[in-house]
Structure 1
Amino acid sequence: MSLATFRIAAESIKATAHPPGAPVLNWNSFFSLRTSRRRYSLASSIVSSIAVTGVAFVFLSTQPEMADEVTKLIPMDPVISMGILTFAATFLGWLIGPIFGNTVWKLFHRSRLPEFTVKEKAFFERIRNHRVNPMGASTNNPVPDYYGEKIGSVQGYRRWLRDQRAFNRKREGSYPSGI
């Protein structure tokens, strides 16, 4: 998609999505919403992993016949088997946490969600178009933030672009020797 086509599409989205005079989501607001969504996901992962671990611990400690079933599945010492099962429950809680966090975040930010979705698609399109080819990666030249996960502001995006260009220059060997 060319830049002119992208601008025309963005203008048509602005015209159809917003009545005149309504505030449009700018990039800085988009990045702050993106950061808040990530925090909701992290907080819900922590809470759900603690909750699922607590439920698993209570269930395993109150059901003595569970120890026999677990040791049949995991043929080790019952304490180690229960520890593995408790760790698995914690991991499951960590994995299901973002589902709840993103749902709560969407409920709180319902009014800005359509704008956010459009801006997020445009952002990921930019990331996809400007990221480097990871084929030139090595231990001395690792790929810089391939998915753009660490970008938290417009300045961060510009820094990400500079890092992508620097990676390409290093990969192509256009740095003078000695640097």
Structure 2
Amino acid sequence: MIMLRSIGINFAKASPYLRTVRFNSTGSQALNWVEYLALKKQGRRINVTASVLTGLAGAGLTLNGLANIEIDPEKPIMGFDPLYVLIGGIMLGGFVGYLVGPVIGTPLFNLKNRAVLHEYKIKDKIFLERIKQNRVNPTSQSLANPVPDYYGERIYSLKDYRQWLRDCNAFRRKSREFL
């Protein structure tokens, strides 16, 4: 049974995906947790930036398209004031553009970090398994005791991870004591 203490995974019992990991001494160094979390933060920032830019582009393209349509301001469109319909259309175009952002941001992140992408994906799989193991049962949540970040989406540093673990333990303690 192979056990790596630094990451806490028993490879004999791990999923087949994790058993195929090769550790080469001649290859690049394995990604540590600090580097992984920094890459995770970078990927999130790239996706949000791409979403904002594509949202603005979508709203601009919609505005450009609607500006070329001749509309009678006194005649309602489907029973609504034409100004409201135009504003709603521009907002819808911006929202659709915002949703397209990660479709552009994720390949940019993968292209930028292609040298460590394989190790990043392995570390991501291990991280998500740790989140699954340590997250709380949300059935006992309330307004006074909300669930702490169920999917671990806001964990971008070891400090954030430790705080998330403390929050999960506090949630468990409160749900045991008050229910």
Instruction: Give TM-score scaled by structure 1 length.
Output: 0.84
Find out whether 1:6 has 2:38 as its counterpart: no
1: distance between equivalents of 2:158 and 2:96?
Answer: 35
Q: How does 1:78-89 map to 2 (within 5 A)?
A: 78-89=82-93
Q: Any runs of at least 4 consecutive aligned residues in structure 1 with deviations exceeding 4 A, and if so which?
A: 9-12
Aligned amino acid, residue 88 of structure 2 = I
Q: TM-score if structure 2 supplies the norm length?
A: 0.84
Cα displacement (A) at 1:22: 2.2
Task: List alignment gaps of at least 5 residues for structure 1.
Answer: 175-179
Q: Is the 8 A contact 2:110 2:117 kept in 1?
A: yes
Q: Which residue pairs with 2:143 in the alignment? A: 139
Amino acid at match of 2:151: Y
Spell out the pairing of 1:32-71 with structure 2 (5 A cutoff): 32-64=38-70, 71=77
Q: CA deviation at 1:98?
A: 1.2
Kept in 2: contact 1:44–1:101 (CA 8 A): yes
Q: CA deviation at 1:19?
A: 4.8
Contact preservation (8 Å) 1:106, 1:113:
yes
Change (3 A) 1:11 1:19: farther
**1: CA distance, partners of 2:142 / 2:48:** 31
Counterpart of 2:165 (choices 139, 161, 165) is 161
One-letter amino acid of the structure 2 residue matched with residue 100 of structure 1: I
Count of aligned positions = 167
Aligned-pair Cα RMSD in Å: 2.5
Q: Which one-letter code corresponds to 1:44 in the other structure?
A: A
Cα deviation 1:23-47 (Å, max 9, x = unaligned): 1100000000000000000100110
**Deviations 1:132-171 (CA, angstroms, capped at 9, x unpaired):** 0001100000101111111111222121111111100000
More helix, by proportion: 1
Question: CA distance change for structure 1 residues 14 and 155 in 2, over 3 Å: closer, same or farther?
Answer: farther
